A and B are shown apart, each in its own frame.
Chain A
Amino acid sequence: MKSNGKHLHFFAIISDAVSTLWSIIVPLGFGFAWGMRHLGQIAGYALIILLVIIVFNFFKWLRFKYEFIDDQFHIRSGVLVRSDRYIRIQRIQSVQIKTNLLLRLLGVVQLKFDTADQASKGDMVLSALKLEEAERIKAEVSRGKTQKSIIFAVEDPTEAPKVVDDSPKKVYALSGKRLLAASLLTSKVGVVLAAVFGLWSQADDFIPDSIQGRSLSYLEHASLVGMVIIIGMAILMLWFVSLVSALLRWGFFKLSIHEGEWRIHRGVWETSDETYKTDRVQAIRIKEQWVQQLFGWCTVYADCSGSIDLEKSDGGSVLVFPLLRKKELPDFLETAIPRFAGPIKHHPLPVRGTLYRMILPALFWIALCCTLTWRLDWGKYTLIALPFILAYFWFKNRSEGWALMDKRLIVINRWLTKTTTITRRNHIQSFAKKQSRIQKKLNLSTCAATIRASTAESITIRQLDEQDADKLLQWFRKK
């Protein structure tokens, strides 16, 4: 399997240069916008910086070589600090291929290896490759792995060698109707709102004074009805933007379930093909936003061990499927990942715990009210919100719960989104029982199970009966 070192596609220089530039520009942010206005004066420097980046990336490209050596993949890289990295093909968990529109036009893709390292250790990325070359590497890696497994099978004669079946067991695709529903139900309006406000606060930098003056005076003279219409339009716009962004994010989402692995394809602008081994999954998270819950839908995430791109997934979890009816969920889990499947029930938490947890927000709000009443005329009216806040916390806490099902632990948590986490005993790394003095008096305690995800993640059950906490502890200790 010996092969000589190969360079990346030539385009890597440009794509790396762009990403370096981007990483310089983003932190500078609006300082850069200022720079753009004075471009005439600083053009020389900007050009020099650009040139330095491109030259540097050229050398990086020249130095970057990869090859297969026997059962290892060898990457040589680094201009100033030279590094040689050998990865056993056995240790490569999965190969991911990614492109975006620009790259696709050139027939170039990005290839990434996932290993068991934590995400912070950095991934092995081949930033630009011809599509055929990427496919070849992928095939080589999977061949290296199957060869090894056949050797294992020979060593263990009782087990017949498995025939690797490459056809998917089942394919879940996001249909058009569902995609639309998904984008309607997932309100990322908040994020968009923040972005628009951010832009607006910077807007006076961009908009020439004449136009700005006019638009503001128009706003001041608008009647109440006009204002309502403008605000309504703005909300509609925001919603539309979030809809489009959701469409772009989830367009052509396809999950194919193979023997022991998931292949997830997604994206309109930036397509990505990802493979996840199901034995890496440490926990399944089922999220229901309140709108989704109203219509009986949910989103399924998986927490996997090893390196996961933090940007692409939500907080280190892998999006398994964006929108699923709650009644389809048992079937879906049964086909996708049988060891996490089963009935999802929960015991509610004790009422005294709920009441105890309501004390803190109540106290906080009352303190806020007092300060406001002291300082402002209308301060006392904020007290009206107190019952609503208490009611919200009551319902929020009452909907939480936990359950033990043989080897599975199910925990339901809620802030705004209801999250049901399913994990198994053999995935829990350590288990903690916490108790403050007040909790001890009330016979309550808090439990936290730590699992190994891309970052150490803990699943917390707050304010459950102390006996139940002890039961959980014993359950975890049992072999």
Chain B
Amino acid sequence: MTNIIFWLGIGGFITSILFFDWPHFLFYIAGALAALNILQLILYVFIFPSINYRTFFYEIRQEDLLIQNGIFIITQTVIPFTRVQNVETSQGPLLRKHRLTAVSVTTAAGEHEIPALEESDALALRDQIAELIKENPANEI
């Protein structure tokens, strides 16, 4: 999405160089921006997701949820069920087309997401977590 906006910006830039009397060295800047944009596209579409796919896992243990993700820096996050406030599933149009669902877990300090699971798996996971929240009641304070 941001990519499209950037392309529009670069396009506008080039047209204004061509049709208004903007200095020509701006072409280099426009070219550099376009190159960066392509680089970003390649990295974020082909390379990073595949790395992230390899590193990502989640694990439900007795009292907590463990999520590992990351590209350069691998992060393992532990979220105890006693701190979980609610579980949420969400599905955008793209995910719906591929019958996938994202599950996210909210604590008082933020949200942790498992980005794309098979629909039935996601619903089962949601129910499982909801059950586990009940088993591990929150101790206030």
Contacts and interface: CB of A to CB of B under 8 A. Distances in A.
Interface in B42-77: 61, 63-64, 70, 72-77
Interface string B21-35: 000000000000000
Contact of A429 (B74, B75, B107): B107
Interface in A404-431: 426-427, 429-431
B108 A473 contact: no
A477 to B, nearest CB: 6
A292 interface: no
A215 interface: no
B39 interface: no
A452 B141 CA distance: 11
Given A477-B63, A477-B78, A477-B80, A434 B110 contact: no
Given A436-B72, A450-B110, A477-B64, A430 B77 contact: yes
Contact of A434 (B64, B73, B78): B73
Given A426-B141, A477-B64, A433 B109 contact: no
B73 A436 contact: yes
B87 interface: no
Contacts of A430: 77-80, 83, 107, 109-110, 112
Nearest to A452: B108
A457 B109 contact: yes
B2 interface: no
Q: How large is the interface on B (under 10, 10 to 19, 20 to 34, 35 or more residues)?
A: 20 to 34
Interface string B99-141: 0000000011110100000000000000000000000000101
A280 B24 CA distance: 61
Contacts of B108: 305, 429, 452
Contact of A432 (B72, B75, B83): B75
Contacts, number: 65
A214 interface: no
Contacts of B110: 429-430, 450, 456
B78 A431 contact: yes
A435 interface: yes
Interface residues of A, number: 26
A434 B74 contact: yes
A451 interface: yes
A437 interface: yes
A305 B107 CA distance: 13
B109 A434 contact: no
Contacts of A431: 77-78
A453 to B, nearest CB: 8
Contacts of A479: 63
Nearest to A424: B141
A430 B70 CA distance: 17
Contacts of A453: 109
A473 B112 contact: no
DSSP class of B's interface residues: helix, strand, loop or mixed?
strand
Interface in A90-138: none
A426 B83 CA distance: 9
Contacts of A437: 72
A279 interface: yes
A73 interface: no
Nearest to A433: B76
Nearest to B110: A456
A436 B77 contact: no
A452 B61 CA distance: 23
Which of A439, A451, A479 is packed against the most chain B CB atoms within 10 Å? A479
B76 A432 contact: yes
Nearest to A469: B76
A290 B52 CA distance: 42
Interface string B11-22: 000000000000
A476 B75 contact: no
B51 to A, nearest CB: 11
Contacts of B77: 430-433
Interface in A318-335: none
Given A279-B141, A476-B78, A477-B80, A429 B109 contact: yes
Nearest to B78: A431
Contacts of A427: 141
A452 B109 contact: yes
A458 B108 CA distance: 12
Interface in A424-479: 426-427, 429-437, 439, 446, 450-453, 456-458, 473, 476-477, 479
A309 to B, nearest CB: 20
A204 B83 CA distance: 57
B109 A451 contact: yes
A344 to B, nearest CB: 22
B109 A473 contact: no
Nearest to A430: B79
A429 B85 CA distance: 11
Interface in B83-101: 83
Contacts of B107: 429-430, 450, 452
B107 to A, nearest CB: 4
Given A436-B72, A456-B109, A473-B78, 19 more contacts: A429-B83, A429-B109, A430-B77, A430-B79, A430-B107, A430-B109, A432-B76, A434-B73, A434-B74, A450-B107, A452-B108, A456-B110, A457-B109, A458-B109, A476-B78, A477-B63, A477-B78, A477-B80, A479-B63
Interface of B: 61, 63-64, 70, 72-80, 83, 107-110, 112, 139, 141
Identify the 5 closest CB pairs spanning chains A and B, nearest first: A452-B108, A429-B109, A456-B109, A432-B77, A429-B107
Interface of A: 279, 305, 426-427, 429-437, 439, 446, 450-453, 456-458, 473, 476-477, 479
